[in-house]
Amino acid sequence: MAGPTGHGSSLGAALGDLLRSQVTPRHRLSSYNAKHWHAQLSQLTGTHRGYQALEEAGLHVTTNTLVNWLSDPEYNVRRSYRDLIHTAYENVAVVPADPIPDHVKDGQFEISGTVRTGDDERERGTRRAALLRIDGSRGYWDAIEELWAAGELTDDAFQNHFVDDVIVADIGEGTDGWDFPGSSYAVELR
């Protein structure tokens, strides 16, 4: 039975596609797109989570002050308060990434596409060359997890860390390192 599969124009893109099919990345809520402090404050004060974000950002004002601000969009609010409102708004608008699950980190990765180590370059996953099989449980996922949680796991970073921290940990450096110079990859998780 086939497992989840990611596809992409690079190994990193295929890995990213696979990961996003398993867990939700850090993302911005589309409903939080207000630019003006008054609109942001209106949206924040509409939810308990918004009030918490205001408090966590350091905005400590009375209910009467909030009512005054909300009743007049032209109210002269100090810049420091506007900055705190904006900070709270940004904190509420961003949803943290789900953690990378153990079944991904401990999974078996079957890679199809062009793989080169030293002078040996093959199209893996064909009748002439088997899939490149990598045991994820032998890898070191800390750097990948940090970048994922921060919303900074680009395809290039994912590929670089996967090669250095997962592939090398499982099967070694290869003849002269690992390179994935192709333009189409598939990664299946088993």
Do 131 and 53 sit in the same domain of this protein?
Answer: no
How many domains would you assign to the chain? 2
Compute the distance between CA of residue 71 and CA of residue 80 in angstroms, rounded to an integer.
Answer: 20
The pLDDT of residue 1 is: 60
The pLDDT of residue 78 is: 92
Residue 57 has pLDDT above 70, yes or no: yes
Do 90 and 169 sit in the same domain of this protein?
Answer: no
Q: Which domain holds residue 105?
A: 5-25+98-189
Do 123 and 105 sit in the same domain of this protein?
Answer: yes
Do 121 and 174 sit in the same domain of this protein?
Answer: yes
State mean pLDDT over 40-45.
94
- Of 27, 55, 50, nearest in space to 39 by CA: 50
Neighbours of 130 (CB within 10 A): 12
Q: 176 exposed, middle or buried (CB, 10 Å; 0-12, 13-18, 19+)? A: exposed
Do 134 and 62 sit in the same domain of this protein?
Answer: no
Do 18 and 86 sit in the same domain of this protein?
Answer: no
pLDDT digits (tens, 9 = 90+) for 15-35: 999 999 999 999 988 889 999
pLDDT digits (tens, 9 = 90+) for 84-117: 999 999 999 999 999 999 999 999 999 999 999 9
From 76, 95, 114, the end of a domain falls on 95
Do 184 and 117 sit in the same domain of this protein?
Answer: yes
From 65, 95, 125, the end of a domain falls on 95
Do 81 and 151 sit in the same domain of this protein?
Answer: no
